[in-house]
Amino acid sequence: MTDGIPEDWLRALQATGLSLDADPSELALLASEFREVQLAPGELLVKQGDAGGSLFVVVDGTLAVTVTEPNGDVVEVPSLGPGSLVGQISLVLGGERTATVRALTPTRALELDRPSCIALVERHPQLMKPLTQKLREDLRRSRIVGMLKSIFGEFDADGLRELEDSLEWVHVESGQVLFNHGDEADGAYIVVVGNVRVVAPAGDGSERVLDDVGPAEWIGEMALLSGGPRTATVYALRDTELVYLARDAFTRLAITDPEAMFYIARLLAARLQGMLEPRSMTFAKSRAFAIVPLGPTVDIAAFVDQFEAGLARHGSVRRLSSDLIDAEFGTEGATNGGVGGLAHEAHDHPAQLLLGPWLAQQEDLHDHLIYACDPTWSGWSERAIRHASHIVLVADARAHEALGPNERKVVEQFAGGRAPQVSLVLLQQRGRTTFPGTKRWLDGRPHVDQHHHVRRGDRGDVERVVRHLTGRAISLVLGGGGSRGYAHVGVLRVFEELGIPIDAACGASIGAIVGGSLALGLQSTELLRVLRPVFDNLIDPTLPLVSLAAGKNAVRGTAGVVGDLDIEDLLIPYFAISTNLTRSAEVVHRRGPLAFAARASGSLPGVFPPVPWTNGDLLVDGGVINNLPIDRMAELHPGAVVAVDVMPDVDLVAGEQLPMSLSGWEVARRLISPRRESIQMPNIISILMRSANAASHSTHRAQATAARASLLLEPEVAHWNMLDFKAAPVIADQGYDGTKAQITRWWSEHRERLLGRESNN
């Protein structure tokens, strides 16, 4: 007996292989945390379905193990003898026992419960390292085996072991690059836990997001069939575990199991089909969100409650906090000044080998996780942001805009690497629809991808944020088309009557002006009243050396509607499209003066003068390059895109027997002479408008982006001249009448998918 510990206890612990390097005193220290359990033949050690939470080491005797399958069949597995481990996965994950273990002979076993295990890990991490490593390997295997079967189909035991042996585990920390565009490709990866983002270079030097990849999904599978450079860069949105399958290993697998090759071929075919066929509705794969107060004075409790309720409309949610973790694992510290306790250990501490798998299990059990960070930065806060694929910074808009202490920690965490998605939530005063001065919050925050205004206590605002963060945003894309754009107002009236929320808006030309007014918080009836004075006096003729109109009326009218607000001051996200005439490029206005963006987007070439921009560049109407920017909306705000196209495929049809040349004087004489038949030719402004939009309307992208819309509305307003602004109420009514039935059918089909289920509370 060593230090009062029976010798057979020490032999059993030694036989597990988990403490081979421990000396007798260390083994005795380890054994002191166990208690002995004695069983008579036929007595149960554990029963399948009972609550777990402890590990057993068999000292002597023999145990039978059976598993009851879902169909009721009872499967016997090999019996257990001295030195065997029972319940090691249950020790970490808790939950229900997965097997029944019964004594065949008189048996003695040692039991270690979770709090005792954690205490040992915290006090003697090196002594417990072999055990925690063994637990980690067992948990990894239990996770990957099911995943491999779902991917490749059923294997026999030898085939499964061979496949497992071919895989290499890879851990990528949040923000770390897995591989870069142009790297040599020699194998593929499967995500086991976490999320990675796939990006590729865009033509303008920026990056384009191709996909977010989650558990049980492949990355770089083309490399299994052929070499060559990687076509994209992949980085971790959060701490992520993957397995790597080299091309050589896959080739050997394909020889012994040809079905694996067929599987990869089907996978590549599906991936190619997805690239060729744009999706009409996209959902973000972010499932884990870290809610971070900028500093200790920001009260996020009410926001987190409403955020959790909003997520609950779309599935099961688990809110995790340091207090909950310490309660779950029976440790202390989270409520004791933020020191001690499992939740507050550094992420690389051996004790975290117990917490990490448990957190991964929570992802398996729930559709969404909320990591509620501590008011003051802590070890739990660091772990939370490393496990979240989307970080939500919450600020009190009444406070100073300087970076908060917690926010600085987030920035430091990802300095030199790639950060996950970061959103800034500004808690605002109730009752307002615009929030001047938002620019000061965004300047100096390049780490923020999007910002959201949330009025305190407004459940609808929080649900809008939830839809954005989960890829369910309902966005409206309004196309250009002169006076026909008043049909947009009729569409908005249908949305209001059906109670369809609008989470983001954008547009080109008149669509940009209507969309901006919508983002201001104006209702459809107000829109008609506000916009009519602008467009009724839009054209102010001038000497046509640069343009037919001087543009002063357009400038004054636009400023009269939107004032001096910036785009970022609006309640919902908004952007406008203009065309950089100097560089033949598309410009997306997401920030800056709203009046400028609307004016630039509606600066029809030849009708209005170009708008001067930075570096001497000139901006003209957005309809020239992208009259219906569905593609931009789908990229910026994933979800359901509703697009309204008021430019028909066939327009401006001329009369018969017109000459090849035409005198303007002759057209004028016929207009003023009642005895002469007028010439059926569109006027110059209509020709300029149609010409400006023709390129973006007829290109392949117009067809492809239309396929990315969840709903494409084309109200029949082509019979209206594009300058018939006096007919605003009639055109709006026709937009309403012509789209109501289509919108109603669409909303009936997609409402629950986008808004989720109503709460039972």
Catalytic residue positions, numbered: 509, 621
Owner of token pair 């017109």: 658
Q: Is 166 helix (H, G, I), strand (E, B) or coil?
A: helix
Helices 524-536 and 487-498 sit at what angle, rounded to 10 degrees?
170
In 3-state terms, the chain is what percent helix, strand and coil (to 5)?
40, 25, 35
**Ramachandran quadrant class, 236 (left: phi over 0; alpha: psi -120 to 50; beta: rest):** beta
Alpha-helix residue ranges (DSSP H) falling in 102-166:
114-123, 125-152, 157-166
Cα angle 150-154-159, degrees, rounded to a multiple of 5: 115
Q: Is 265 helix (H, G, I), strand (E, B) or coil?
A: helix
- CA 374 to chain centroid: 24
H or E segment to which residue 390 belongs: strand 390-396
> d(Cα 128, Cα 336) in Å, to the nearest integer?
26
> d(Cα 429, Cα 12) in Å, to the nearest integer?
65
Q: Which amino acid is at 295?
A: G
H or E segment to which residue 219 belongs: strand 218-219
Contact 30, 127 (CB under 8 A): yes
The count of other CB atoms within 10 Å of the CB of residue 326 is: 22
Ramachandran angles phi, psi of 154, nearest 5° = -70, 140
Contact 288, 238 (CB under 8 A): yes
Name which of 104, 126, 3, 120 is nearest 58 in CA terms.
104
CA dihedral 646, 650, 655, 657 (to 10 degrees): 160
> d(Cα 758, Cα 761) in Å, to the nearest integer?
9
Q: What count of Cα atoms within 13 Å lies in the side-chain half-sphere of residue 436?
A: 4
Strand order in 54-60's β-sheet?
35-39, 107-113, 54-60, 85-86
> d(Cα 53, Cα 55) in Å, to the nearest integer?
7
